[in-house]
Amino acid sequence: MRGTVEAGDKSLLFTYYAAAPYLRLEKTTLPDGKGDVLNGFDGEIAWSADPRSGTQISAGEERESAKRDADFYYPLDELTWFKSMEVVGVEVYEGQRCYHLHGINNWGKWNDHFYATDTGLLAGYEFEAQLSDGPRTVHEIFSDYRRIDGVMVPMKQTVKVKAKSGNGWTVLETINYAVVTFNDVDPKVFAPPQAVVDLAGKQTSN
pLDDT at 120: 97
Number of other residues whose CB lies within 10 A of the CB of residue 175 = 21
Phi, psi (degrees; rounded to nearest 5) at 72: -60, -30
Pick out the chain residues at pLDDT < 70: 166, 205-206
pLDDT at 206: 58
pLDDT at 205: 66
Regarding pTM above 0.75, the answer is yes
Phi, psi (degrees; rounded to nearest 5) at 120: 80, 0
Q: How many domains does the chain have?
A: 1
pLDDT at 96: 97
pLDDT at 202: 83
pLDDT at 145: 98
What CATH number corresponds to the domain at position 86? 2.50.20.10
Q: Give the residue numbers spanning the domain of 111.
A: 2-205
